Amino acid sequence: MDAIRVGLIGTGYIGMVHLEMLRRIAGVEVAAVADANRELAGSAAERLGIPKVYANASELIADPGIDVIHDCVPNHVHFAINAEAIRAGKDVLSEKPLALNARESSELVALAAERSALTAVNFCYRYYPVVQEAAARVRRGDLGEVRAFLGHFLQDWLFYDTDYSWRLDPAVAGAANVIADLGSHWCDLVQFVTGRRIVEVMAELHTCLPRRRKPKGGPLSFSSARAESSEDVEIKLDDFAAMFLRLDNGARGNFTTCQVAAGRKVDIELQVFGSQESYAWSHVHPNALWIGRRDRGNELFYESGALQAEETQKYAALPTGHPMGYHDAVYNLFRDYYEALAAKRAGKPFEARFPDFATGHVEMCVIDAAVESARTGRWTKVGR
C-alpha cells in the first residue's frame, strides 16, 4: 500500500517531537515541512531527510502530494491552518488548544464533519498506558460512580521574570495562558478517565509576575536562555489558575495549575475518587497507577501488556518494567490515528478512539467558561 504522506507546519519543540514519532509509524512518510522561520524548517528537513521545505503554510497545504497536515504552530494560527487544511481535503492532526475559543473550535468541528476529515488533537497524556488502564477500569465499573477528583499541572519554565513566551501575549495565545495551555490537557484527562463531561466551573486566574523582560529576539517555549536584549512588558495573562469543576453526574473536582512553581517540571497529577475505589496518576512517575481502597492495602499497578485491560494492552508495548516515556505516549496516539486513517483510506470500518476535533472543542468550551468565570467571579456553565 502507498505510504500516507504527511506535511508538518511548525518545526519548533513540539513539531520536532511529532517528526521524530512519525518516523516510528510504519506506512507514513513526512513529505514536507513548513515554518515561518524557513531556516528552522530547513534544518529539520535536512536532519531528518524530509524532501520538501515550505516557508509558507498555505503552499504546503496546497501541495497535492500531501495527505495529512500536522498543525504545530502557535495558538492564534491553529484555527486558520486547521480550517484551510480541511478545506483542501486533508486529514488533520492538530496541537492543542484547537483554536482561540469555542466559536472557532465549533466551526472546525462542523467543517471536519462536512468534509469527512479524520481529525485528531494531540492530548498525549491520556496515552500513557496506565491512564488508558484507569479509563478502562472506570468503563467496566471498577471505580463505581465518580464522586470527586482533584489534581494539578505545575511547571517552572516561567519562574523568572526574564522568562518569556508567546503564550503570555494575548494576541498570540488568546484569552488565557496557563489555564488554556495546561488546563486543557488536564480537563481532557479528567473527562477521558471518568467518561463524564465537565458542565460547570468556577475559576480564578492570576498573574504572579505582572512584569517580565521580553527578549527582543523572541524565544522559544521551554528555552532557559536569558535574553541579552530585552524590554520590560506588562503581563496580563495568567501564570497561575485554579478551577472548581462539576461533572454531569454531580461529582465535584478541583484543579490548580501554575508555571512559576520552582522545581516542578511537567508535574501533572490526577486523583479520582469513586464509590468503590480511587485512582491516582502522576506524570512524575507515569508508569504506575495508584489504586486506593478503604478495606485493604492500596495497589500500585505498573503498566503491563499482560495485566492491563485487554483493549489497552497495545499501549504497553514493552515487557513490564521497561518504562514507557513521553515519546511513547505521543507515538501511541499517532499510531491510533494512523491505524484509523489507513482503514478510512482502505474503505474499512474503524474505531476512532483518539481525541478528535470534537474533543478539542469540548476542552475549548471548558476553557472559555473558566475565563468567563474568572472575569465575573461566578460559577459558569460550560457551553457546547
Burial of residue 65 (CB within 10 Å: 0-12, 13-18, 19+) is exposed
Separation between Cα atoms, residue 97 and residue 104, nearest integer Å: 11
Of residues 184 and 207, the one with the C-beta less far from a copy of itself: 207
Please report how close the Cβ of residue 189 comes to a copy of itself at its closest, in angstroms.
16
- Which grid cell sits at 246? 462539576
- Region of 321 on the Ramachandran plot (φ > 0 left; ψ -120 to 50 alpha; else beta): left
CB 318 to a copy of itself: min, Å = 6
Compute the least distance from the CB of residue 345 to a copy of itself, in Å: 16
**Which is closer to a copy of itself, CB of 82 or CB of 380?**
380
- List the one residue out of 112, 107, 108, 60 whose CA is nearest residue 91: 112
Angle at Cα 158 formed by Cα 154 and Cα 163, nearest 5°? 165
Q: What is the amino acid identity at position 318?
A: L
Nearer to a copy of itself by C-beta: 56 or 376?
Answer: 376
Q: What is the closest distance, in whole angstroms, from the C-beta atom of residue 225 to a copy of itself in the complex?
A: 9
Say if residues 63 and 52 touch (Cβ distance below 8 Å): yes
> CA 3, CA 327: separation in Å to the nearest integer?
22
Beta carbon of residue 105, minimum distance to a copy of itself (angstroms, whole number): 25
Taking the complex as a whole, the smallest distance from the CB of residue 82 to a copy of itself amounts, in Å, to: 24
With a CB cutoff of 8 Å and minimum separation 6, the contacts of 363 are 96, 97, 98, 121, 123, 184, 187, 188, 191
Judged by beta carbon, residue 324 or residue 365, the one nearer a copy of itself is 324
Q: How far is the CB of 107 from a copy of itself (least distance, A)?
A: 32
Minimum CB–partner distance for residue 378 and a copy of itself (Å): 7
Task: Please identify, using beta-carbon distances, which residue of 113 and 284 lies nearer to a copy of itself.
Answer: 284
Query: How crowded is residue 322: how many other Cβ atoms within 10 Å of its Cβ?
Result: 10
Residue with cell 501533572: 268
Q: How far apart are CA 133 and CA 192, in angstroms?
A: 11
Q: Which of the 8 DSSP states describes residue 351? A: -
Nearer to a copy of itself, 142 or 311 (CB): 142
Task: Find residue 291's DSSP bridge partners.
Answer: 279, 299
> Rounded to the nearest whole angstrom, what is the least distance from the CB of residue 333 to a copy of itself in the complex?
14
- Residue 105 or 219 having the CB closest to a copy of itself: 219
Q: Which C-beta is closer to a copy of itself: that of 147 or that of 344? A: 147
When the beta carbons of 63 and 303 are compared against a copy of itself, the nearer one is 303
Rounded Cα distance between 292 and 164, Å, is: 40
Q: How far apart are CA 95 and CA 24, in angstroms?
A: 19
